[in-house]
Amino acid sequence: MRIKLFSTATLAVLLFNVAAFSVGDARSARIKKAEVSRLVAMLPASDGVVVFDSKRFVNDALPKILSSNQTMLTEVMAKITEMETTTGIDLKKFDQLAVGVAIKKISAKEYDFEPVALANGDINSGALISVAKLASKGTYREEKIGEKTVYIFAAKDLIEKNAKPANSAVAGMLDKGLKGMAKDVAVAAIDKNTIAIGSVPRIRQTIAGGTRIGADVTSLLSVKETSVMSFAMKSPGGMASLLPLDNDELGANIDAIDYLAGSMDVAATGTTLGVIARTKKTEQAQGLKDTLDGLKMVGGAIFGGSKRADQQIYGRLIKNAKVDLRGNDVSLDLTIAQTDIDGLIGGIK
């Protein structure tokens, strides 16, 4: 399960990349929100949804975030180019992207994750798929679903054929994630400017259109004009079914979370992250807030007086974190200065 979860996360990083550095005019912002809403409305029933502003990531955000580690930036960009060469799909052409993830219980303590993504932009979806077919060198098959033709690619084989060695830790993680993907990836043109990418069953569900994401999830999805990413999800079996939690008070408080939602913004001065955790009961939310407040106090005391540069950064992050409680919702807001991002990223090998 962890390999598949990491694969899903890696695919999101590579294919559905995110960033926003400036606020466009009001009309552009309205168009963006309307298009994101349209894509989310077309997704099949899912336990989680993530929406991205994808085009600016490769051109603006990634160079900004990794500016203090040029070796890593070079390798990550090479991996993105490698994926484009492998699939024939130019990631920079996507404007908006919405990903729906279904969480499936496959054993008493193990869950699987099946994503499907809808991406649109200044693209010709038919031409884009034609290029992908050429890049696959014939390693694909076709399936008819209603009036739509679905193209199914043996992605794992293509990735292994085109893979290049990675030297940095992050590039190596991307390699592992890509190689851990499902064997088959299906692609279909939804309309002239929109394509769907995912597992074959999830593409079938998308085209059939018989199910939709529940309002309990979509109502938590906050698509801000400047957000680089927004997400909302529910935990079908408690957070302990998705995360390795200890049998202690912290683990119990995290396991009480029913829903998670949030967004991330990237600007020239730094990154802002906001997360909301919703519990079943008010007293559980209070317990979660008390635990986070306690961790802030202890962490601040540990790192506050450190002479090590990295621990000083951790201390500032803890100090800047703002925790609030409203009913069953616990919110965490954190702003990370670009200088601290540089300090953290620059130390990664």
Per-residue pLDDT of the chain (349 residues; tens, 9 = 90+): 444 444 444 444 443 333 333 334 455 667 777 888 899 999 999 999 999 887 777 777 788 888 898 888 888 888 777 766 655 566 677 888 899 999 887 776 677 788 899 988 877 888 888 877 877 777 788 999 889 999 988 765 555 555 555 565 555 555 554 554 456 788 999 999 899 988 889 999 999 999 999 999 999 998 776 777 899 999 877 776 667 666 667 678 788 899 999 998 888 788 889 999 999 899 999 999 998 999 888 888 888 788 888 888 989 999 899 999 999 999 999 999 999 999 988 877 6
| 220 found inside a domain | no
Regarding whether 191 and 276 lie in a shared domain, the answer is: no
CA distances from 188 to 92, 119, 121, 129 (A): 19, 11, 15, 8
Phi and psi at residue 185, to the nearest 5°: -125, 125
| 182 found inside a domain | yes
How many angstroms separate the CA atoms of 9 and 5, rounded?
Answer: 6
Three-state DSSP at 57 gives helix
Regarding whether 64 and 192 lie in a shared domain, the answer is: yes
Regarding whether 273 and 200 lie in a shared domain, the answer is: no
The token pair at 185 is 């990836």
| 223 found inside a domain | no
The token pair at 212 is 């939709």
The 8-class DSSP code of residue 117 comes to: E
Regarding whether 158 and 101 lie in a shared domain, the answer is: yes
| 230 found inside a domain | no
| 226 found inside a domain | no
Number of domains into which the chain is organized: 2
Regarding whether 258 and 205 lie in a shared domain, the answer is: no
Regarding whether 183 and 47 lie in a shared domain, the answer is: yes
| 227 found inside a domain | no
Regarding whether 251 and 209 lie in a shared domain, the answer is: no
Domain boundaries, position 158: 2-214
